[in-house]
Amino acid sequence: MRSFSSLAVSLLLALVLSACGVSSGSDATAPSGDGVAVDLDFTSTTVAGEPFEGSDLAGKPTVLWFWAPWCSTCRTQEPTVSKLAEEYGDDVNVVGIGSQDTAEAIEAFAAETSSEIVQLTDPDGEVWRHLEVTTVSSYLVLDAEGDQVERGSLSNDELTDLVAELAG
């Protein structure tokens, strides 16, 4: 009976993960610096209502910060992400991608962040799905060639050190 329960739990977990958009062979929330090229062919809208092209990020290291307005971890990360955008904004793209709430709630939280962070509103999670992100709060850090340097959860110190390194 115990092995049947274990099998049932494993199958249920596999079903849940596949429904969340995690592709087979990758864990979208686990940190890894595998150097895989990230598909930046996506469009979105900034919280100011301007069109945004992911392909415009090419040629510069990039921090993509995936957050939700109700996320307490995201709120504690905001001062660090804002500081990094202000300090390294000329050398590193810093883009916040708010989701998992209404556009109004996303816009309200984005208004509390540095104006140096490009903030996208993604209430339906289209950009999150495109970039295979399933967990709030997460980072996707890319080098100037658009290759993945880090993915997943990072401490404020880890993110700060990584951005300083990428900025040169």
Which token pair is 15?
């079903």
The per-residue pLDDT for 28 is 37
116 Cβ contact partners less than 8 Å away, ≥ 6 residues apart: 82, 85, 86, 89, 94
Q: Which residues of the chain have pLDDT under 70?
A: 1-34
pLDDT at 33: 55
Q: Where are the domains of the chain?
A: 25-167
Query: What confidence score (pLDDT) does residue 36 get?
Result: 87
Tens digit of pLDDT for each residue in 52-85? 999 999 999 999 999 999 999 999 999 999 999 9
Interatomic CA distance for residues 72 and 162, integer angstroms: 23
For the chain, the straight-line distance linking the first and the last C-alpha, in angstroms and rounded, comes to 57
Q: What does the H/E/C string look like for 116-130? A: CCEEEECCCCHHHHH
Give the pLDDT score at 4.
Answer: 40
CATH architecture of 25-167: 3-Layer(aba) Sandwich (3.40)
**Predicted structure pTM score:** 0.79
